[in-house]
Every structure is written in C-alpha cells, then in structure tokens.
Amino acid sequence: MLLDALFSHIVKKGSLRLQIGKGPFRHYGDGSGPAIHMHVKNHKTALAIGLNPYLKLGEAYMDGTLTIENATVFDFLSLLTRNLGAGDDSDPLLQKIQRGWRKSIRFAAQYNPARRAKRNVAHHYDLSNTLYRLFLDRGLNYSCAYFDSPDDDLETAQNQKLRHIAAKLALKPGMRVLDIGCGWGSMALWLAHHCDVQVIGITLSTQQAQLAKERVEQAGLSGRVFIHLKDYRAIEPAFDRIVSIGMFEHVGLPFYGAFFQKIHDLLTPDGVALIHHIARSQGPGATNPWMTKYIFPGGYSPALSEVLPHIERSGLMLTDLEILRHHYAETLHHWRQRFSKNRPKVAALLDERFCRMWEFYLAGSELSFRHGGHVVAQWQLCRNLHSLPYTRPYMETFKKDMPL
C-alpha cells in the first residue's frame, strides 16, 4: 500500500497510528512521545494521499475523509515536518519526481500579468474583512511581526515591525512614499502619523482598498494617505521612498526583473526602497500544490539566489539585507490561536470545510518556518550609495525616539 510505504519511509521519530476504514492499526516511528491516531475513511482516499500527498493530504483533511482522532492537525503536521526537515532528501522517489515536475513548470504557474494577478489576489484577500479581523492584530497586519522579546503580544510585535521598517527607510518630513501591496493600510497610516510623510498605498484587493480608505478617513489622514486599487505596473514616478510588505511573494518568477526595474524607475535619484517578503533558506523550490490551489494561486516564496540577480541588473544597489528567522513562526502561532478561539464565528461566516482548510493552512505555514527552512528577508535598496548613512546607528536612534 502506497500510504503505508510513505509513512514507513518518512516517520522515523515519534509515533503515528494509521487506521483505514475499520481495518487494523498500522504503527510508524520509534514509539517516542504520544501516539497520534490518524483515521482515513477508505482505501480510495488512502491511495490518493499515497500517490500525491502534497495535494491530497490537505484535501482529505478539508473534506473530512482524513481525521486526527486524539490530537490537532498541527500536532500531526508537526510530526511529519520534524521528520522531513527542510530539504528534499526525506521524500520518497515518487514525491521527488512530483517535486521536480512542479519546479519545471513553475514559470508557467507563476505567470502573473496584471489581470491574472488581480484574480489571484481576490481569491485570498477578498474573502471577507470580517474573517481577517477575527485572527489578526487590531492594526490588521497580515505579515510577519517583529518580536523584540518572545513575550511580546501580537499587537506590540506588529507595531515593532512597522517601526523597524520605518527606521530602515530613513524618512524625512514631507517625503513622498509608495506602499506597494498596502493591505488594509497599516503601514501607510503609521508612516503618515508618525513620520509626517505623504503615502500612496496600492492594492489589488477590492475589500482591502475599501476598508483602508475608511481607516484613513477615521484617522483624519485623508490629506496625507491616498489608497488606490491599482497594479504596481501602472504607477508613475517619482517617490522618495518605496515600501512593500508581503507582496513580492505574488509577483511571480517571470516578473522579477520587471518588478525591480519598476522600483528603480519609480525612485528619485536619492530614493530608498524596502522589500519585505518570505524567502527560502534552502535554495530554489516550488510552491506546495495544495497551497497553490486553495490559498495563494500564483504565489511563490523565492530563494535569495533567485532575487539578487534581478536587483543587480535593475541598477539598484543592495545596502542592507536582514533575515528574520523565527519571527513568522511566532506570528503564525498567534494567528492560529486566535483563529481557533474564534472558530465558531468563522464557521458561521463561511463554513466548516473552510475552517478545516484554514486550520491546515495556518498550521502548515507555521511549521514551514519552524522546521521547513522558510525565513523572512528585508532588502534595503537604493539608486545612490550616498542616499543613506554609512553605518546602522541611525536606525536605533529612530526607534528610540519613536514611540510604539
């Protein structure tokens, strides 16, 4: 049986018990830790998972044909990811072939011209503003927070992220700033309020744009923050600063060169850009097919080696690169706990299948940062090497002077 062979190959540490239908239990692992009991409804589902686990495991959990009887889906996926680690070596041959195929077609899968990019964004970000309020912080930051301390609450950590990025931008009053992928407007509002700058925020999400405009008006910043439903390719120069948080994952490999060339062309000669995105620490890969189909169509978290050549060819200069390692795992932990607390409200808003889908998504995402080699990269870029101070103390000075 393929599923039996799959778990026998993967699960070396820990304890997993598998039951298919009313059949006997099969045991995997070294018996350490509490045994996780996985039940698969029938042999048809078991075969589908065995043939294509990266897609069918999540689908079976969503459909209720795979259940975890005595633990959470996070516990189950944690057992698998701890055994798999960050690389491909633990994958059985069939899964290595499938992974290789996904890598070979990823340019087509990530071909995101403006119309397709808008459709991809709508798939995820136009679900419901109410949904996102149920698990995000009060500022509606849907990206990696910055934990100065593991004890920081989510609101504090997200404000620290905004301040950390603002410090890298070296802003001066009156500057014109472009926020690419502005979401619900948190960064734009923070910059306008604390740094006395004008911010143009752009997003492809209709619901995000609508709520962001409402938040701008409520904050009394209508004269300094302007939100537009627009693609980055349609923006005209020039900006003193550009910031983009959690949007680059949606650009697509075929458009990296055009993206960074656009950043270059949009900046003033002394301009500075800060790009914050999820990255792979283990080299180029391919997006999980379940994630592509159900969560982020057209999305991809690149390796640094896939990004830097495009920056160099654009004429931009890399002035600072910071890697945030465990910050997103902690962020996702907070989101997952809040989602679980508000699960009945999510089910009433959408449905039970959606709840299981997002439980799988949030758990898998958190574990990709804990065990799977995902990190967050912050690229500081400029056109002129003299645009920024030569050493980093200016960032710490800004943070000390700027209240949360």
Region 228-232: what's the mean pLDDT? 98
Please determine, for residue 99, whether its predicted confidence score (pLDDT) is greater than 80: no
- Across 151-184, b (16+ Cβ under 10 Å) vs e yields ebebbbbbbbbbbbbbbbbbbeeebbbbbbbbbb
In whole numbers, what is the pLDDT of the chain averaged over residues?
94
- Quick one: tokens of 105? 């077609």
* H-assigned helices in 153-288: 154-169, 186-195, 206-218, 256-266
In the chain, % helix, strand, coil (3-state, to 5) comes to 50, 20, 30
Please determine, for residue 170, whether its predicted confidence score (pLDDT) is greater than 60: yes
Catalogue the E-assigned strands of 53-100: 66-68
Q: What is the pLDDT of residue 219?
A: 97
Q: What is the pLDDT of residue 34?
A: 92
* H-assigned helices in 245-288: 256-266
Region 113-131: what's the mean pLDDT? 96
Q: What is the pLDDT of residue 1?
A: 78
Q: What is the pLDDT of residue 404?
A: 76
Q: Is 273 helix (H, G, I), strand (E, B) or coil?
A: strand
Q: What is the pLDDT of residue 86?
A: 43
Q: What is the pLDDT of residue 84?
A: 87
**Residues 355-382: pLDDT tens digits?**
999 999 999 999 999 998 999 999 999 9
Percent of the chain exceeding pLDDT 70 equals 95
Q: What is the pLDDT of residue 94?
A: 55
In which band, very low, low, confident or very high, does the pLDDT at 98 lie, cut at 50, 70 and 90?
low
Q: What is the pLDDT of residue 97?
A: 61
**Residues 293-340: pLDDT tens digits?**
999 999 999 999 999 999 999 999 999 999 999 999 999 999 999 999
In which band, very low, low, confident or very high, does the pLDDT at 88 lie, cut at 50, 70 and 90?
very low
Instruction: Go through the domains of the chain in sequence order and give each one's CATH number.
Output: 2-104 (3.30.1050), 109-401 (3.40.50.150)
Please determine, for residue 256, whether its predicted confidence score (pLDDT) is greater than 60: yes
In which band, very low, low, confident or very high, does the pLDDT at 106 lie, cut at 50, 70 and 90?
confident
Please determine, for residue 87, whether its predicted confidence score (pLDDT) is greater than 50: no
Q: Strand 15-20's sheet: what is its strand order? A: 25-29, 15-20, 36-40, 66-68
Q: Is the pTM of this model over 0.85?
A: yes
Give me the amino acid identity at 267.
L
